[in-house]
Amino acid sequence: MIDVQNLSFSYAGFPGMALRGITLAMPKGQLCSIVGPNGAGKSTLCYALSGFIPHFYRGVLKGTVRVSGLDVAESSLGELAGAVGIVVQNPFNQITGARFTVFEEVAFGLENLGVPRDEIISRVAESLALTGLDSMHDQSPFALSGGQQQRLAIAAMIAMRPAVLILDEPTSQLDPIGTREVFGVLRRLAADQHTTIVLVEHKLEWVAAYSDRVIAIVRGQIVADGTARDVLTSDLIEEIGVGSTRLTRAARLARAQKLVDSQAALPVTLVQTIDFFEQKDR
Amino acid sequence: MGESIRIEQVAFTYPTGIRALRGVSASISPGEAVAIVGENGAGKTTLARHLNGLLHPTSGHVLIGDWDTSKHTVAQLATRVSYSFQNPDDQIFERTVRAEVTFGPRNLGFSADEMESAVQDALSQVGLLSEIDHHPYDLQLSQRKLLTLAATLAMRTPIVILDEPTTGQDAPGVRRIAEIVEHLKAASHTLITITHDLDFAAEHFERVIVMAGGLIIADGPAHDVLAQESTLAAALVDPPQMVRLALALGFDSIPLTPEEFVLALKNKSGRSS
């Protein structure tokens, strides 16, 4: 669904490479999280997967990115719009400013894709329900809170039913309930509609609980790629400044002080950590 | 260095008719570090905006030291309280990082020397000294958040309010903010944070206030409040990870940090063997 071959990119006017030799394949329906310190190239990768690079951000691009069978560099943004959706880091930047209500905002993309009227209405209603915004549909997008705007940006993307959905820190403004709702929506999209999801996220406990796969990036390069448990408990991940969850830290400390005999791999989720300390294999 | 805060039966209704605060009272002593937690819409930010006079109570009083906020201007209150906004883009308005951080100290009447040292100090604490001549919008969102934090620190006020300081930060960013918090505590500032990050609250704040539906539903030492599962559930807040783990494993004492957890584990295995 996503096929990236030897991708490198440097922004016009900025020295240094933002991405260096990224090769990456992602099947349909996979929920993959990208972790890494700020400035590692996570947002740049999101832009490259969604066509913002090279169509909006200029620079030197090497290698190829194919999404849903489209070569991103050779396809127009219009062609890409139906195949890949992106939710950018600051939701405020994503609101069109051209629509007066939440309902119209979500309908905007569908109108541009030429979706029939009845279907627009049903898809918008479905997206607003999925993101918990159904009671807001007549409000101005600018009257919403930060968290609600963030969910609005997600609703607008979901409505377009892209095969690939890219989200850059989609829960940064959300409380734990909002975060849970967003992760729940993403998991349902991956499971039910086989949407391929790429997620940049700092909240490691959520990444650990919901991702099929975790990729770590540092200085524009992939340095780890595997299950959440493998990647997020590795020593490397600590060294590169991603840190580890408190649960992993507790288990690591207990093992270092020989308080557990457990030979099990270090845990990342609450359930894994309970098993680790009760010395059960599940 | 710190200053006291008294919140007396404060109710607040927005012009839209939303009753954001329904009678809250709390008393905060000079030098205390308090985390206010609760779901979005619980009234946390509304309460914080009463402390620097951006909002005035519909009924009740807020006292900063001996000043009633309703009888003092925001500019006067700024000598005692600084406030770092949740969304940095609501706060930033200058064209350079230096100008943004200098704005507060200049308006507080710092001398040129004091101003320069306050700005340098604050920027070095948040790690943005190398960006001093850049435009704030050339910074990443997480750096803009640190910039607003620097602008707050530079004012050197007795009371510092940080609204969601860890939002959007990576692990090194969170560590940096934790260091700043510890530094402010060591210098005896009165420190208030609003946060969704209960693990962060658990590790750095001795007192926790839980808000729900415009009311304070719990207020006390972090160890007590963060172990109250039913209160946190009522506020739709998840307990910190270490609390959840300790409860699941049937510990008697509730740890707030991985280090405390390991200590509790040691005591437990010591007793049973």
Q: How confident is the model at residue B273 (pLDDT cuts 50, 70, 90)?
A: very low
> Does residue A132 carry a pLDDT above 90?
no
Beta-carbon separation of B168 and A169 below 8 A: yes
Beta-carbon separation of A249 and B236 below 8 A: no
Three-state DSSP at A123 gives helix
For residue A38, the tally of other CB atoms under 10 A from its CB is 18
Relative orientation angle of helices A176-192 and A146-159, to the nearest 10 degrees:
10
Beta-carbon separation of B245 and A274 below 8 A: yes
B194 contact residues in A (CB cutoff 8 A): none
A39 contact residues in B (CB cutoff 8 A): 140
Q: What is the mean pLDDT of the segment spanning A181-200?
A: 91
> Does residue A1 carry a pLDDT above 80?
yes
Residue A39 CA, distance from chain mean position? 16
Q: What is the mean pLDDT of the segment spanning A124-147?
A: 88
**Which segment of A91-95, A274-278, B120-124, B235-239 scores lowest on mean pLDDT?**
A91-95
Q: Which helix (H) or strand (E) holds B245?
A: helix B241-248
Mutate to test the interface with A, among B39, B90, B241, B249 (most CBs of A within 10 A): B241
> Does residue B215 carry a pLDDT above 60?
yes
**Domains of chain A: which residue ranges?**
245-282
Q: Which residues pair with A19 in a beta bridge?
A: A9
- Per residue in B172-209, pLDDT tens? 899 999 999 999 999 999 999 999 889 999 999 999 99
Beta-carbon separation of A145 and B40 below 8 A: yes
Tokens matching residue A58 = 């200029």
Relative orientation angle of helices B258-272 and B241-248, to the nearest 10 degrees:
20
Percent of chain B exceeding pLDDT 70 equals 99
pLDDT at B271 (0 to 100): 61
Tokens matching residue A105 = 């905002």
Beta-carbon separation of A176 and B196 below 8 A: yes
**How high is the ipTM of this complex?**
0.82
Pair A152, A140: CB distance under 8 Å: no
> Does residue B234 carry a pLDDT above 60?
yes
> Does residue B89 carry a pLDDT above 90?
no
B141 contact residues in A (CB cutoff 8 A): 89-90, 172
> Does residue A280 carry a pLDDT above 80?
no
Comparison of pLDDT for A167 and A179, the residue scoring more? A167
Cβ-nearest to B171 among A92, A243, A277: A243
- Per residue in B7-47, pLDDT tens? 999 999 999 888 999 999 999 999 999 999 998 889 999 99
Beta-carbon separation of B258 and A246 below 8 A: yes
> Which residue in B91, B89, B3, B13 sits closest to B50, CA to CA?
B13
| Contacts with B255 (C-beta within 8 Å, 6 or more apart), sequence order | B242, B243, B246, B261, B263, B264
Cβ-nearest to A147 among B40, B89, B238: B40
Q: Provide the b/e sequence for A74-100 (b: ≥16 CB within 10 Å).
A: ebeeeebbbbbbbbbbbbbebbeeebe
Q: How far does the CA of residue B151 sit from the closest CA of chain A (Å)?
A: 21
Q: What is the mean pLDDT of the segment spanning B87-115?
A: 92
Instruction: For chain A, say whether B170 makes contact (Cβ under 8 Å).
Output: yes
* DSSP summary character for residue B244: H
Tokens matching residue A64 = 């190829």
Tokens matching residue A199 = 């997620």
> Does residue A213 carry a pLDDT above 80?
yes
Beta strand pairing call for B215-221 and A31-35? unpaired
Q: How far apart are CA A33 and CA A187, in angstroms?
A: 12
Relative orientation angle of helices B171-186 and B141-153, to the nearest 10 degrees:
10
Q: Which helix (H) or strand (E) holds B35?
A: strand B33-37
Q: Hey, what domains does chain B have and what are their CATH numbers?
A: 1-80+158-224 (3.40.50.300), 91-156 (no CATH)
Mutate to test the interface with A, among B134, B143, B196 (most CBs of A within 10 A): B196
- Per residue in B130-158, pLDDT tens? 999 999 988 888 899 999 999 999 999 99
Burial of A169 from C-beta contacts in 10 A (0-12 / 13-18 / 19+): buried
pLDDT at B50 (0 to 100): 96
**Contacts A–B by Cβ distance under 8 A:** 99
Q: How confident is the model at residue A174 (pLDDT cuts 50, 70, 90)?
A: confident
Q: How far apart are CA B77 and CA B58, in angstroms?
A: 19
Residue A54: cis peptide before it, omega within 30 degrees of 0: yes
Residue of B nearest to A275 (CA): B249
> Does residue A217 carry a pLDDT above 50?
yes
Q: How confident is the model at residue A225 (pLDDT cuts 50, 70, 90)?
A: very high
> Does residue A282 carry a pLDDT above 70?
no
Q: How far does the CA of residue B168 sit from the closest CA of chain A (Å)?
A: 5
> Which residue in B176, B234, B87 sits closest to A91, CA to CA?
B87
Mutate to test the interface with A, among B141, B195, B257 (most CBs of A within 10 A): B141
